[in-house]
Amino acid sequence: MEAKHQILIVGGGNAGISVAAKLLKKDRKLDIAIIEPSEKHYYQPAWTLVGGGVFDIKNTIRSEAKLIPNGAKWIKDAVSELLPSENKLTTKNGDAYEYDYLILAPGIQINWNGIEGLEENVGKNKVCSVYGFDKAPYTWEVVRNFEGGRALFTSAATPVKCGGAPQKIMYLASDYFRRQGLLGNTEVHFMNAGKVLFGIEKYRKSLQKVCDRYGVKQHHRHNLIKIDGQNRTATFRVTDGDGNTSEINETYDMLHVTPPQSAPDFVQSSGMTDAHGWIDVDQYSLQQVKFKNVFALGDATNTKNAKTGAAIRKQAPVLVENLLALMSQDEIQGAYSGYGSCPLVTARGKVILAEFDYSGKPTETFPFNQAKERRSMYFLKKKVLPWMYWNKILKGTA
Ligand SMILES: Cc1cc2nc3c(=O)[nH]c(=O)nc-3n(C[C@H](O)[C@H](O)[C@H](O)COP(=O)(O)OP(=O)(O)OC[C@H]3O[C@@H](n4cnc5c(N)ncnc54)[C@H](O)[C@@H]3O)c2cc1C
**Residues having CB within 6 Å of any atom of ligand 1:** 10-16, 35-38, 44-45, 47-48, 78-79, 105-107, 130-131, 161-162, 165, 264, 266, 298-299, 307-310, 312, 341, 343
CA of 149 to the centre of ligand 1 (A): 34
Q: CA 277, CA 343: separation in Å to the nearest integer?
A: 28
Please give the sequence-ordered ranges of beta strands (E in DSSP) within 260-299, or none if there are none. Answer: 261-262, 294-296
Query: How confident is the model at residue 36, as a pLDDT?
Result: 98
Answer for the pair 315, 298: CB distance below 8 angstroms, yes or no: yes
How many A from CA of 25 to the centre of ligand 1? 23
Query: What is the distance in A from the centroid of ligand 1 to the CA of 44?
Result: 7
SS3 state of residue 283: coil
Alpha-helix runs per DSSP H in the chain:
14-26, 47-51, 118-121, 136-144, 165-179, 201-214, 265-268, 309-327, 375-379, 385-388
Alpha carbon 186 to chain centroid distance? Answer: 29
Alpha helices in 181-270 (DSSP H): 201-214, 265-268
Ligand 1 atom 37 nearest Cα:
106
CA of residue 85 to ligand 1 center, whole Å: 27
Q: How far are the Cα atoms of 155, 183, 230 from residue 148, in angstroms, in the given order?
A: 22, 7, 19
Average pLDDT, the chain: 98
Give me the phi and psi of 187, to 5 degrees please.
-110, 120
Give the number of the atom of ligand 1 that is nearest the alpha carbon of residue 299. 26
Nearest residue to 72 (alpha-carbon basis) of 118, 121, 6: 6
CA 387-156-310 angle, to 5 degrees, is 25
What spacing in Å lies between the alpha carbon of 186 and ligand 1's midpoint? 33
pLDDT truncated to tens, each residue of the chain (398 aa)? 889 999 999 999 999 999 999 999 999 999 999 999 999 999 999 999 999 999 999 999 999 999 999 999 999 999 999 999 999 999 999 999 999 999 999 999 999 999 999 999 999 999 999 999 999 999 999 999 999 999 999 999 999 999 999 999 999 999 999 999 999 999 999 999 999 999 999 999 999 999 999 999 999 999 999 999 999 999 999 999 999 999 999 999 999 999 999 999 999 999 999 999 999 999 999 999 999 999 999 999 999 999 999 999 999 999 999 999 999 999 999 999 999 999 999 999 999 999 999 999 999 999 999 999 999 999 999 999 999 999 999 999 99
Cα–Cα dist 11/88, whole Å: 16
The DSSP output letter for 333 is -
Given ligand 1 and candidates 34, 35, 44, which is best to mutate, with the most ligand atoms within 8 Å of its CB? 44
DSSP state of 127: E
Index of the ligand 1 atom closest to the CA of residue 297: 26
CA dist list (Å): 194 to 218, 219, 225, 340, 349 = 11, 9, 14, 19, 28
Structure confidence at residue 2 (pLDDT):
87
The 8-class DSSP code of residue 147 comes to -
Alpha-carbon span 72 to 76, nearest angstrom? 12
How are the residues of the chain apportioned to helix, strand and coil, as percentages rounded to the nearest 5?
Answer: 30, 30, 40
Q: How many CB atoms lie within 10 A of CB 202?
A: 17
Ligand 1: centre distance to CA 96 (Å): 25
Distance CA 206, CA 197 (A): 11
**54, 95, 162, 297, best to mutate for ligand 1 pocket (most atoms within 8 Å of CB):** 162
What is the number of the ligand 1 atom nearest to the C-alpha of 47? 1
pLDDT at position 1: 84
Count of CB atoms situated within 10 Å of the CB of 80? 14
Backbone dihedral angles phi then psi of residue 232, each to the nearest 5 degrees: 45, 55
Catalytic positions: 162, 342
Q: Nearest C-alpha to atom 6 of ligand 1 is from which residue?
A: 45
Q: In order of start, what are the domains of the chain with their CATH numbers?
A: 2-108+263-337 (3.50.50.60), 112-259 (3.50.50.60)
